[in-house]
Amino acid sequence: MARRVVIKQGRRKKKKRKKQQEQPKRVDKCLVAWAGDLAAARCVNDFISRTGCKAIVETGTYKGATTAWFTTFGLPVHTIEKNHEFISVARARLAGIPNATVHEGSSADVLGSIIGELPRPVLFFLDAHWEDYWPLQDELRIIAEGGHSDACLIVHDCLVPGRSDLKGDISKGVTLNIEMIRDAIAAIYNGSFHVSYNEASPAHVPGILFVEPSP
């Protein structure tokens, strides 16, 4: 009798392990990439599927967690980081992932050198900050100068209207919000674009601004 129970438990464990293996990798990884914010991961997932982007560029790699998550879409992923120590960590993490390219340098400079080579439309995930120089305005200017009016943008750490519990990045005492970058975004899309946010996210996670060409 006891033997039969052991066998049943073994089967149950095997079944559970099989079910875990069947979970899409992207969901597993979002626990690291989006700090456990499944709603944000879902938003980005839907955005990428809906907009049909052909390449992803991330500015601000840090340790490559979100880069790794982006590679699961099977698109070419370029990530740009200026801090040499973070570059080493990210390169180790992304080694052997053929669709990931790690660029060392300041985001605006590197963007300028690769932007003409990318399959379009491009999704730009703009997340380079933490330093005195905040490159966001320059990144947006380079995207506009590159003529990427079909691009999609995700701006991380941006205030979300009506959700004061979501976090925005603060630079020199100012918290990032769309008004600070509206003109630079308008220059990319010749004035007409559509914005949305991660409104379904739980409290106290970063706000995320999504921008795409007007339908």
Ligand X SMILES: C[S@@+](CC[C@H](N)C(=O)[O-])C[C@H]1O[C@@H](n2cnc3c(N)ncnc32)[C@H](O)[C@@H]1O
Q: Which residues bind ligand X (CB under 6 A)?
A: 58-62, 65-66, 80-83, 86, 106-107, 127-131, 133, 135
- Closest contact distance (angstroms) between CB of 125 and ligand X is 7
Could you tell me the two tokens for 76? 């070419």
Tell me if 210 sits within 8 A of 154, measured CB to CB: yes
Residue whose CB is nearest to ligand X in the complex, by number: 60
The three-state secondary structure class of 165 is coil
Give 64 or 121: the residue with its C-beta nearer to ligand X: 64
Q: Which residues pair with residue 55 across a beta bridge?
A: 122
Give the integer Cα–Cα distance in Å for 31 and 35.
5
Give 57 or 188: the residue with its C-beta nearer to ligand X: 57
- Closest contact distance (angstroms) between CB of 179 and ligand X is 21
The three-state secondary structure class of 208 is strand
The vertex-73 CA angle with 69 and 77, nearest 5°, equals 70
The pairing of strands 208-213 and 152-156 is: antiparallel
- Closest contact distance (angstroms) between CB of 97 and ligand X is 15
Give 10 or 131: the residue with its C-beta nearer to ligand X: 131
Give 137 or 196: the residue with its C-beta nearer to ligand X: 137
Report H helices in 23-37: 25-33
Give 60 or 189: the residue with its C-beta nearer to ligand X: 60
- Closest contact distance (angstroms) between CB of 147 and ligand X is 22
- Closest contact distance (angstroms) between CB of 197 and ligand X is 17
- Closest contact distance (angstroms) between CB of 50 and ligand X is 21
Tally helices (H) and strands (E) across the chain: 8, 9
Give 68 or 189: the residue with its C-beta nearer to ligand X: 68
Tell me if 125 sits within 8 A of 100, measured CB to CB: no
